[in-house]
Amino acid sequence: MRTTDHRIDGPQGLLFARSWLPDKHDTRASATIVLFHDSLGCVDLWRDFPERLAHATWRQVVAYDRLGFGRSAFHPGTLAAGFMHAEATASVPALCEQLGLGALIPFGHSVGGAMAVATAALLPERCSAVVTMSAQAFVEDRTVAGIREARSTFQEPGQIERLARYHGGKARWVLEAWIDTWLAPGFAAWTLDADLAHVRCPLLALHGDRDEYGSRHHPERIGARAAGPTEIVILEDCGHVPYREQPEMILRAVTSFLTVATSTAAGTDT
């Protein structure tokens, strides 16, 4: 396995990225899996999952820290209303250009799932498949309740310091960006519907049946509103972070999905 760290010159500052390339990667599987982290996440919080994913699929995997997160530069302000689309229109093109990426398989966890969908919707010529894991498709009462509970938890001694292990001096901004965005009254009507209507490549929606930030209505809505073929996998006895709770199940589901999805996409894996 070849693991490489990268510094990407993004429109608003440097982004940190890491890539994993299996020694015996499948040269026919040209599409690179790009991982989008959750609202408090970063490359390091994926732990060993990207490497295991690269091994399981024989594909290159790339993960990056969004601006303001992890080892990327500080964000200059607050998250704009279109922050999910900004990854598809700004960060992803920068990654592709500077890492020499061609076809993509966007793969996102939690809010990163919405960013993966937005990437497939806005860059359809690049995306051969898309995977969401614990993604939100609308603002559900359970989502809001979970965030309010997390806000209380982070007020306890030592909690923000735990976040700072991964985000350094950006930890407070990371936490407030998550909470302030999802609890803002103006965000209550947000849905993923418009983006899903433009996703025509195969889509896999993974979701735990005990997800504290969203019920199974989210993957069901993703499956119902996507324009292309979809597969929904509900993980039993699993919460919001399946890649830690049930990694083997995730790897099997993704590998199986990509084997079928990419073999039927225009007869080739683009």
Nearest to 42 by CA among 192, 204, 168: 168
pLDDT at 28: 58
pLDDT at 27: 55
pLDDT at 268: 41
Residues of the chain with pLDDT under 50: 266-270
At the topology level, CATH places domain 2-262 in Rossmann fold (3.40.50)
* C-alpha–C-alpha distance, residues 233 and 230, integer Å: 10
Nearest to 70 by CA among 151, 148, 165, 161: 165
pLDDT at 82: 86
pLDDT at 262: 77
pLDDT at 264: 63
In 10 A of CB 136, how many CB atoms? 24
pLDDT at 270: 40
Beta carbons of 59 and 30 less than 8 angstroms apart: no
Name the H helices within the chain.
49-57, 83-86, 92-99, 111-122, 141-153, 159-167, 171-183, 193-196, 217-225, 242-245, 247-264
Between strands 130-133 and 61-64, the pairing is unpaired
* C-alpha–C-alpha distance, residues 137 and 141, integer Å: 12
Beta carbons of 65 and 42 less than 8 angstroms apart: yes
Query: What are the angstrom distances between the C-alpha of 264 and each of 54, 227, 228, 253?
Result: 21, 16, 13, 17
Q: Which of helix, strand or coil describes residue 93?
A: helix
pLDDT at 80: 85
119-147 residue pLDDT tens? 999 999 999 999 999 999 999 999 999 99
Beta carbons of 138 and 218 less than 8 angstroms apart: yes
pLDDT at 144: 96
